[in-house]
Structure 1
């Protein structure tokens, strides 16, 4: 299993670089060429969301993108350090993609999460008082990984 970690300043101009790196690593990992445009768009939405959250919450830490390739799937994790208040009565920080709970009840980025969940079959969104994470996965073609 190979892992690539990308950290970038929370500036909109760095989102394009994250999309390009994600697509290149996904292609090498064996993700079907037919879904690479959707992968790029999903990564762009997730990174733009993280940048926006960092900027709106005054977070100076970088946005994290982790690309994980293995024999069966390729995963991308986009993490932010923007705090969200714990939902009242919730036992964990897990939220449905596009739910107002994920944004601490304000729903400001529901559209971006809806786009991501429409593009990616395997997506998980979590958020709590320390930040959030969007985890997306795509199947890979066995034996397609380059060395």
Structure 2
């Protein structure tokens, strides 16, 4: 089973590259052509979310994207390094202010909107957060017969 790992600095301009790589790898894995736009949009949304979280929390570590071709599915994991205590409604610094003084209600609403978009695009999606960061795992079925390149 093939796996591709992509890491990029948390800059919005790199999200486009992640979308293009995800679509290319998904096509190669056998994801139906009609679903590739959904893959591209979902990956773009997940990567944009991770970039936003990194930037708003001052994290310089790269965003991780793991694309894996499994027996009957193609999965993508987009990971950030924002600890569970730094996401959602708990995105508050030690002094009680939002990250860099940002409006945490606005950031939380934007985060929820991004997750809602992803959920609307992907039937099989899991969102998890730990002390090490968050991961959005998405998967799609692959065609049983893949044409040779």
* Fold in common (TM above 0.5): yes
Higher helix share: 2
Is the alpha carbon distance of 1:29 and 1:131 closer, same or farther for their aligned partners in structure 2, counting shifts above 3 Å? same
Aligned to 1:135: 137
Task: Return 5+ residue gaps in structure 2 as ranges.
Answer: 91-104
| Higher gyration radius (CA) | 2
Segments of 4+ in structure 1 off by > 4 A? none
Give the match's secondary structure for 2:84: coil
Aligned to 2:13: 13
Task: Return 5+ residue gaps in structure 1 as ranges.
Answer: 87-101
Match 1:116 to one of 104, 115, 118:
118
Deviations 1:77-100 (A, max 9, x none): 0000012219xxxxxxxxxxxxxx
Distance (whole Å) between structure 2 residues aligned to residue 133 and residue 43 of structure 1: 12
CA RMSD of aligned residues (A): 1.7
